Structures are given as structure tokens and as C-alpha cells.
Structure 1
Amino acid sequence: MYRAVLVDDENYDLEGLRCLIPWRELGIEAVCSESNPLAALQYIENHEIDLLITDIRMPAVSGMELSRVALELNPGLKIVFISGYQEFHYAKQALDLKAHAYILKPVDDEELISVLRTATAELELERRRVPEDGGMIASFNFIKNDVLQHLLEGSIDGATLGEFLARYPLDLSFTSASAVLIEADDVLMRVQEQPEGGYAGLDRLFQYIGSEIDASAAGKWCRLNRSQLGFVYTGPRRTLEEWLQQLVLRVREHTDYTITVSYGAEVWSLGELAASFSQAKAYMNGKMFIGKNRVIPPVMNKPGMVQDIKELSVVLEGMFAAMAAYRLADICDWLDELFEIAALFEHPVKVYHFSIHIVTRLEAYLGTLNETYESLQQMDAIHHLETVDDIKRWLRRTLFEISELLFLKKRHKNRRLMEGIEAYIRERLTENLTLRGVAGHFAYSPNHLGVLFKEHTGESFNEYLVRLRMEKAILLLDQPQYKIYEVADQVGYKNIAYFSRQFREYFHMTAADYRKQS
């Protein structure tokens, strides 16, 4: 049996890991499961382990820090990071630690089981001293997906990309390229019909498409979300549309799905890929105008269609951004603009299809946030709506509900984070605390943590720190056994003159005067 430690500060997620994974069938014993990373660290320091499955960002001790200590004590350790944050720098840190895998929340049980099987297989090979095949990148297929997605979405800067490619070779060279977006058709309907098997079918579909791309050496690809795949086509531009048409045909013949494909302009550098991909996303909105199960080219012959698609793209981006930021009034404004576009459709059936298209785009957008919303899968609700106003009201209510859920989830995360940070500060008031130091301990940037502090407490970090120190100073001054310089030392001031000046500024009297009157 291999020994595993499970760490997640979310009790619900931890319980899911502990109870829903068939550990013994995998030849693994979960010897420790902790929501408190400090308790997990204490266990690791006193026991040998083979596997560490940990959340990447936790208060007090991050998954990264926990893993570094665990690796020093157990050099052959296999680490699986679980994260709710699809950000490049987390994946890069995972690579630096030679992590076995990096899985995004919500965790797919089958994905984790597959990862654990490969981890135990590697452990068995190492026990038998059988050399592993392939280089390090083969063990990090997840990072290829992450890097390509950031390239397509324009969310990685050139310096960071260059640093990564210098250390972890991944061939992204090309003479020219086009960004391609591939979307599975009728996803919501299929998931509604087969709640358990729908997403597994999507996984098989995209595995098939990926194998077709790899077999043709047509370029690099990455899974964007549950229903979409991004693809950097590096073959001859003149054969691109023909190649994509053949892919659409093969998918229809060899899978249970059909796909719709769009592509952007030809580009000649990595930095231009994001612009090409943005075009591909905009053209995908043409699916509702000209139909699915086909290739949507950049130039369409129907008069006004390109302009309609561009307007729809702008409206959808604005509406989804307002939803994610909990700006309810802006959601209403964007909805009004959206249904001005819908008013151009002369038949109610077209409005219904328009609504299905919007919900599909919304589901894909939530996928980029690693979020789901179960009601979107209940498409019967739209079937029963009789008028455009009914559809508009339903969509407004749905967007409001999702916006509030995202807001509450974010606030809950921030509240838990801030409670941990406040406890950390209170325990260390005697130390030289700085915003940068506290931010570094909790794996945040100083600017980001400063904003969170202001939102949570209504004070800046320094204002909060001074208030805590002054409150504790008052309590100590009320106890006559402490000298004033001892009080200053116990609240973090090594310079008695500086303490006296801050005390006077805060209470408008000296510490000595306060003690006399108390």
C-alpha cells in the first residue's frame, strides 16, 4: 500500500476526496486527511509518505510550502495539486516542484483516479528501479494545455512565456498560424438527456479530435472548457478550410457528436495569436445565423451578418463581465441591447434558437471560470416560454442568480482568507509585520492583498495593524506590572520614541498620561 496525505481547507472538498475515491482499490491508504495545513505539516514531518494530494492555496501554509517540506523529507514523493485557480504562475510553480499533476476544481473523480493510477505506476517503477520513458514534459501534459490557453486568450506576457520555454521546452514555433475554435453542438441538450454520461461523451469527442490533429501534425491544441477546444493551426493557410471541413465530416462519421468550427486571421508570431483567436470566438457567434455542424469562415456573404455578429460579441462580453462583477444594473442594460438584436428576427422560433445560443455561450463562459450552473442544463424551461418578454425575464433572473452565487462564493473565500490573515497578524504583533511579508506568506501580491484588506475591514493594512497594536497597548497599560517600554516591545515597537509618537497620534495623549488617568 502506498501512503497518501490529503489536504484541503474546504471541509466539503476534503470529505469528497476521502470518501469518493476508491483508495484501497488503487493500492493507496489515506493515512492522513486534514483541513488544517499546519496539522498536515506536522504529520508529514514525522511520517514517511508516498503521495501528497493538496489544495494549492490555503491560509497559514500554502500547498506549495507544504510540498517543498514534504519533498525534502520524501524525495520520491508524488504530488497532485488541486486548485480553483487556472492561472499560469500556479502551474509554473507546480512544474518547478516536479508535481505529478495539476487538477482544477471542481474535481472530476475519474480524472483524479486516472492521475492516481499513473502516480502509483510510476512509484512501482521507481521501486523496481526501472527507468522512466520520456522527458519531464511528458509527465506534464496539463501544462501544455495551460500555456496554449493563455496564449490564445492573450493572458501571458512575452517575458513569462520566454522564461517558461527556456526551462521547459515545448515546441511552439511556426512560420504562420491561424487560431481555430472548435465547439461541440447541442451540449446542453445532451447533458440534460444523459446527466451522467454527457460529459464523459464530450471527453471522448475531444480526445478523438486531439488525436486527429496530432496524427496530421496540423498544430497544437488545448481543451478550453467542457464544450470547446482551441487549436493553433500551423499548416498551409490555403488548405486550412479544407482540412477543417474534413475534420467536421470525420467527427460526424466516427463519433456521436457534430461540431462547429470557426477560425481567425493568419498570423506570423505568438503575440498575434490572441487577436486571431478573438476573431474565431466572434465568428462562432455566427453559428446561430448560418447553422451548426459546419465550418464558419471569416468572410460570410449574407449582407449585414458580420456586423450583427460583431455587435452580438460585444454585447455578450459586456453582459457576462457585468454578471461576473455583480453589476446588476449593467446586466439589465446589456440585456436591453441584446434583445434589440433579437428584435431583428421575424419569427418566434428564431428568437428561441437565439436564446439557446446565448445560454450555450453563457455555459462556455462559466467554464472559463471553472464554474457550473445546473439550471442551464434544464433547457425545457425555455421551451415553455411563450413570448420574447418571457425569455428576457427568464434570462435576467438566471443572470442575476448566477451573479449573486459568484459574488457570495468570492466573498466567502475572501472572508475565510481574511480570517486566517487576521489570526496570523494577531499572533505576531510583536514581530516586524509588513504588507509585503504577510502577502508573501499567503501567496498573494501585496497590491491584491491591500485591496482585499480595504474591502474586508474598511481600513488599509497599516491602519489595521496600528489599530490592533494600540488596542493591545491599552490593555497592557492597564496592568501596572508592565513598564511602558515593555508594552511597546510587546506590541511590535522596538523604538520607544516611535511607539510614543504613534500612541499620541492615535489617542491624543501620551502613554504616561493614559496610565495616570486609568
Structure 2
Amino acid sequence: MYRAMLVDDENFDLVGMQKLIPWSSLEIDVVYSTSSSLAALDYVHNHEIDILITDIKMPVMSGIELARLALEVNPQLKTVFISGYQNFDFAKQALQLKADGYILKPIDDNEIISTLQEVVAGLSVRLHEKSDNALLNDFDFIRNDFLLHLLEGTIDEITLAAFLRKYPMDLPSGKAHAVIVEIDDVINKRGGSGEQEDLHHIYELLEAYISARQLGHICRLTPNRLGIIYLADPSSLQVELEGLLAEIRAKTDCTATVAYGRLADVNTELPVSYREAVYFISCKMFFGKDRVIDPGEARQFSIKSTKDVNTSLDELFQAITSYELVAICDVLEELFESVKKFAEPVKVYHFSRHLIARFEGYLKASGRNVPASAMEGWSEESLAYVEKFETIEEIKSWLRRRAFELSEMLHMSKQKSSWKLLSQIEFYVRTHLSRDITLKETAAHFAYSPNHFGVLFKEQTGMSFNDFVVQERMERAKKLLQSPSLKVYEVAEEVGYRSLTYFSRTFREMFGITPGEYRKQV
């Protein structure tokens, strides 16, 4: 077992790393963890450790300085940095210290596990000397970070020039396509170690394929998405991408979907091409997977955008809660009118399942007293049920019947007496989201015992008080994430989360995507 030390001044993040990472399976023993960089340095002076995992920005002594002093004591020490700030200067400092990993908060479990696997592999081999070229290969995370900044348009010309002087890359000032490769069905298989091996294998496979054919540069975007700056002949783009997908099919058990943006000037328009590719890959639900999504086809796609579908779902939910049966029919007709032109049944199923899954989220987030029997019709277990139908009309009829039943139940529940304080309690929660809101404290504020308060709240809303607080925090977070001036960690603090890791995990559990991914969609 290799000995590791964890250092993070945020106690929530520290505890999260201790409990959520499978240390034993990684052959790592966490021998010491602390929120004090000074205590960590003292431990290094008196004990032997193999791996230092530290936050960068900490009071008194930064993680960079801690690592620098620790390396003076143990030059063979492996270092992994964690940062809540997307600052390229931090990455450059990490490179100067010969870091073995650089991970941004909120921490993605898959990313840190993959990084630690590489660190352990490096410890097993114990390479003591590296040439300058090998050194660059060891710091693929810096190169990956650079390419990601280039695609997103968040790197300035001075930093770009400085990087290219130190690490020359074939990055001409001509034209390029931004390409996104998304590995299919990762969500359905999420969590297994075998999945991580598959993703790593696919990344290596694609990197070798792109390098051998001199197509451009590749970087990791998310655990299941890869970005490519395609620099080869634009006329061969479609053929090369089809060949790339064939390579994945032939040499792995997985499939992938590819989308690409316009041919753009590398220095000025590459981020525009990248944003187009991000949008087109989101159309996979409608066009199907294991294929190349053509931009022309996607641009002409007449189905509403994700934001428009959400707007229609808002209208549908409003009609249901207002007991407007005619409006329910109208909105469902509108949603399915465009679907009739789909040629492949699987696309209709994808669309229908998407509506059901999103509507379940509306029900859970509504804060209304939704009967349990009504929720069953929209639960996750019922998603597969839609695939039993053979026509769009059957699907639409099933959805209409479910919506009518729910509307009727909600209408009947409104006839019953309601808790007069409920609206005041909801207002109290919504105006104190940045604080630590507890059932005990809120019950005392309204002069109730905690037990009685909890029972009354559950009877009126259909959910526990704690679930309601989490729901309100997440809904508020969605609105705040639409403001580009706020950092993700600032949004987390605004809604009462001190731990970015816990905030990101809760957001993903509720909405199916991370806060960062949601921000890119809005």
C-alpha cells in the first residue's frame, strides 16, 4: 500500500475525499489528513509518505508552497493538486513542480480515480530520471488544460504565445474544425471500475488513431467526452470521423457519437466552432447514437431546442396544476407534432423518455402535495414502459391519461384544508438559503416542536422538510448559474454549500448534469 496525505482547508471537501474515493482498491492508505498546511509540512518532516494530495489555495501557506517544501524533504514524492480556480497560472506553477495531477473543483470522482491510478502506476515503476521530452509527456494534464482553454476561448494571446514557445505544437494559424466525441451509454453503466478502464482505453485508442493519421490534437472534456482540434484536410473530415467510429467499434465493446462545428480560424473563431459542436452533440437524443451528426442536418432540425422543450414542459405542468385539461392536450400535441417526422422509432422513444424524466423532475421540485400514487406514473422505473408502445399516438395517449390523472388528484387535494403557515415557511426557507437551515431551528422559529412540524410539512407538501430545502437550493442554484459573473463556488456558497464536491454531487443527482455542464447549456 502506498501512503498518502490529504490537505484541504475546506473540511467538507476533506471528509468527502476520505469517504468517497475507494482508496483500498487503489492500493493507497491515507495515513494523515489535515486542514492545516503547516501541520501537513510538519508531518512530512517526521514521516514518510508517497503521495501528497493538496488544495492549492489555502490560508497561511498555499498548496504550491507546501508541495515545494515537501519535495525538498522527499524529491520522489508524487503530488496531485486540487484547485477551485480555473487559473492557468496555477497550472504553470504545478508544471514547474513536476506535479503528477491537476484537478479542478468540483471534483469529479472518475477523474481523480483515474489520476490516482496513474500515480500508483508511476510509483510501481519508480522511474528516477526523465528527459525533457518525457517530462512533457508526464504532464499531459497541462497540455489537456491548454487545449481545453483554447477550445473554450479562455486563453489570452500572451499566454498562448508563451506556451507554444516552451512546448511547440503543430498549431497553424489557418483553419480547423472543433470536434466532440461522446462515448455512448456511459450514464447507464456509470460507477464501475471496468467503465474507467474502457474510457481510458478508448482515449488511448483515439489518441493513437489521430496521431497516426495526423488529424490534429485531442483533449479530455469530461469523463465520457473528448475534444479534437481537427487540422487535417477539411474535405476528408466526414470520412475520417466515420473511420474513427469504425475504429472504436472494431477494437472496443463501446460505440461513440461525433459532432463537429464550422471550419474556423484557429486564432479567432475556434471557440465558435466548439460551441456549435457542443450544441450538435446535444442533439444525439433526437438523431441517434453511434454516428456522425452532420451540422447541416442539425441546423435544419425543426424540433424545439432543449430550452424550448423546457418552456413547453413549464406550460404543461402549469396546465396540470391548474386543472386545465384542454391546455394539457394542446401542449402535448405541440410537443409531439414535430416528432412525427422522425423516421426511426428509437428517436421517438428517446424523446418520450426525455419528457417523462424531465417531468418527474418537475414533480419532485414542485413543492406541492403530490400523491404517491400519481408519482408512480412518472417514476424512473416507468421510463422503460414507453418502449412497449408501437406508435406515437399510443405514447401520447398514455402521457395524456397520466397527466389527466395527476391533474385530477391535485385538484382534489386543493379542496382539502391547507396549513396556513406553509407559504410563510416556504418564504422563510427561500430567503435564508445561504444559511444552515435545519428542521429544529425552523420549527422553533414558527413555535412548533420538531416532530410535529416535520409531520405537518410532509402531509402538506408530500416531501420531507430537508428534501424541500435541498430542492429550493438546487432551483436557486440553476438561476444563479445563468449569471456568467458568478463562479461555481460562489453559487455554491450563495445556496448554503461550503463544499463544492457536495454541491456538485447534489446538483448532478437532481438534474443529471454537473453545474458546469448546466452553465454551458444555458
Q: State the partner residue of 2:54.
A: 54
C-alpha distance in structure 2 between counterparts of 1:339 and 1:34, whole Å: 58
Q: State the partner residue of 2:97.
A: 97
Secondary structure of 1:308's match?
Answer: coil
- Within a 5 Å distance, the mapping from 1:372-383 to structure 2 comes to 380-383=381-384
C-alpha distance in structure 2 between counterparts of 1:58 and 1:381, whole Å: 47
Q: 1:255 to 1:50 in 2, by over 3 A?
A: closer
Secondary structure of 2:270's match?
Answer: helix
Asked if 1:403 corresponds to 2:403, the answer is no
C-alpha distance in structure 2 between counterparts of 1:272 and 1:290, whole Å: 26
Secondary structure of 1:257's match?
Answer: coil
C-alpha distance in structure 1 between counterparts of 2:472 and 2:234, whole Å: 44
Q: State the partner residue of 1:12.
A: 15
- Within a 5 Å distance, the mapping from 1:2-41 to structure 2 comes to 4-8=4-8, 9=11, 10-16=13-19, 20-21=23-24, 32-41=32-41
For 1:7, the aligned partner's letter is V
C-alpha distance in structure 1 between counterparts of 2:332 and 2:203, whole Å: 31
- Within a 5 Å distance, the mapping from 1:403-482 to structure 2 comes to 403-404=474-475, 410-411=492-493, 416=498
C-alpha distance in structure 2 between counterparts of 1:19 and 1:307, whole Å: 44
Q: 1:59 to 1:263 in 2, by over 3 A?
A: same
Q: State the partner residue of 2:338.
A: 344
Secondary structure of 2:302's match?
Answer: helix
Q: 1:171 to 1:286 in 2, by over 3 A?
A: same
Does the CA contact (< 8 Å) of 2:55 and 2:81 recur in 1? yes
C-alpha distance in structure 2 between counterparts of 1:405 and 1:63, whole Å: 32
- Within a 5 Å distance, the mapping from 1:11-410 to structure 2 comes to 11-16=14-19, 20-21=23-24, 32-45=32-45, 51-83=51-83, 87-104=87-104, 105-108=107-110, 110-121=113-124, 124-126=126-128, 130=129, 132=131, 134-173=133-172, 175-191=174-190, 197-300=194-297, 306=300, 308=302, 312=305, 315=308, 344-346=338-340, 352-354=349-351, 356=353, 380-384=381-385, 386-387=398-399, 403-404=474-475, 410=492
Does the CA contact (< 8 Å) of 2:184 and 2:255 recur in 1? yes
Instruction: Give ranges in structure 2 of 5+ residues lacking alignment.
Output: 313-317, 322-329, 359-378, 387-397, 407-466, 479-488, 500-522
For 1:90, the aligned partner's letter is F
CA deviation map 1:449-497 (0-9, x unaligned): xxxxxxxxxxxxxxxxxxxxxxxxxxxxxxxxxxxxxxxxxxxxxxxxx
Deviation at residue 47 of structure 1 after TM alignment: 5.6
Deviation at residue 274 of structure 1 after TM alignment: 0.7
C-alpha distance in structure 1 between counterparts of 2:249 and 2:76, whole Å: 45
Does the CA contact (< 8 Å) of 2:216 and 2:229 recur in 1? yes
Deviates more, 1:346-355 or 1:113-122: 346-355
Deviation at residue 195 of structure 1 after TM alignment: 5.0
Deviates more, 1:226-235 or 1:83-92: 83-92
Q: 1:196 to 1:390 in 2, by over 3 A?
A: farther
Secondary structure of 1:54's match?
Answer: strand
Q: 1:198 to 1:22 in 2, by over 3 A?
A: closer
Larger radius of gyration: 1
Does the CA contact (< 8 Å) of 1:100 and 1:119 recur in 2? no
Deviation at residue 261 of structure 1 after TM alignment: 1.3
C-alpha distance in structure 2 between counterparts of 1:235 and 1:223, whole Å: 20
Q: 1:107 to 1:287 in 2, by over 3 A?
A: closer
Q: 1:74 to 1:402 in 2, by over 3 A?
A: same
C-alpha distance in structure 2 between counterparts of 1:158 and 1:317, whole Å: 38
For 1:344, the aligned partner's letter is S
Does the CA contact (< 8 Å) of 2:6 and 2:14 recur in 1? no
TM-score normalised by length of structure 1? 0.59
C-alpha distance in structure 1 between counterparts of 2:198 and 2:206, whole Å: 12
Q: State the partner residue of 2:391.
A: none
TM-score normalised by length of structure 2? 0.58
For 1:216, the aligned partner's letter is R
What CA RMSD, in Å, does the superposition of the two structures yield over aligned residues? 4.7
Secondary structure of 2:296's match?
Answer: coil
CA deviation map 1:401-458 (0-9, x unaligned): 79359689812897759xxxxxxxxxxxxxxxxxxxxxxxxxxxxxxxxxxxxxxxxx
Deviation at residue 251 of structure 1 after TM alignment: 2.0
Secondary structure of 1:344's match?
Answer: helix
CA deviation map 1:290-323 (0-9, x unaligned): 33222122222x9xx62536x516658999xxxx
Q: Once the two structures are aligned, what percentage of the paired residues are identical? A: 38
Secondary structure of 2:268's match?
Answer: helix
Q: 1:54 to 1:299 in 2, by over 3 A?
A: same
Does the CA contact (< 8 Å) of 1:56 and 1:81 recur in 2? yes
C-alpha distance in structure 1 between counterparts of 2:331 and 2:58, whole Å: 41
C-alpha distance in structure 1 between counterparts of 2:90 and 2:492, whole Å: 19
